[in-house]
Amino acid sequence: MKLAILILSLGAIAAAQSKSPVSDFLKERINGVEKNTVGAFEEMPADKYEFKPTADQMTFGHLAAHIVEANNYLCANVGSVPAPKVDELKGTEGKDKLVAAMKASFEFCHTALAKADDSTMNQSITWFDGKPKPRVFAFMGLASSWADHYGAAAMYLRLNGLLPPSAKK
């Protein structure tokens, strides 16, 4: 028991002394995010990919395409690597193609995050609006987009009588 406590304490100290705590957080967080997000899109029936809660909101399929684009852009900027060359998705490609693209975007994120280092946060990147921003925008944007996108997918599922992955026992 004392050995287990010592090991946990040393692990906590090592984590507290990390030179890249934000990168480490993203690397730790991606597995759960990927499981829940991909799981949400696998859960939704293919005939519901055109569903949107209101006329002004995007369809579930468009949300999938948006997640792929955001993952590729943000992870490339976090990891200081080029974004993968992929076909632009419209969200109308169908469930199988959209889920496959989402899985590929998370695979790319794993690769890009392996190269992430907090020391690059002050470097300049070109943001969505074409203007320069510090790379920290991508670090924070990635974490917040993961939460936002999964929250939206979970809401779409619930509106269709389905439980999101994180709500299942």
Is residue 113 in some structural domain? yes
Q: Residue 161 region, left (φ>0) first, then alpha (ψ -120 to 50), else beta?
A: left
Q: How many domains does the chain have?
A: 1
Residue 56 inside a domain? The answer is yes
**Residue 56 exposed, middle or buried by CB count within 10 Å (0-12, 13-18, 19+):** exposed
Q: What is the pLDDT of residue 6?
A: 44
Q: Where do the H-state alpha helices sit in 1-135? A: 2-16, 21-43, 60-79, 95-113
pLDDT in 10s for each residue of the chain, 169 residues: 554 454 445 455 555 678 999 999 999 999 999 999 999 999 999 999 999 999 999 999 999 999 999 999 999 999 999 999 999 999 999 999 999 999 999 999 999 999 999 999 999 999 999 999 999 999 999 999 999 999 999 999 999 999 999 999 8
H or E, element range at 71: helix 60-79
Segments of the chain assigned E as strands: 124-126, 132-134
Domain holding 158: CATH number?
A: 1.20.120.450
Q: Is residue 15 part of a domain?
A: no
Name the maximum alpha-carbon separation found in the chain: 59
What is the end-to-end Cα distance of the chain in Å, rounded?
Answer: 30
| pLDDT value, residue 14 | 52
Question: What pLDDT does 16 receive?
Answer: 61
**Structure tokens given for 103:** 């899985």
Domain coverage including residue 157: 21-167
What residues pair up with 125 in beta bridges, in sequence order? 133
Cα–Cα separations (whole angstroms), residue 93 to 4, 27, 111, 128 = 50, 30, 26, 24
Residues 6+ apart with CB under 8 A from 55: none
- Which pLDDT value is given to residue 2? 56
In a domain, 13, yes or no: no
86 domain residue, yes or no: yes
Residue 2 within a domain: no
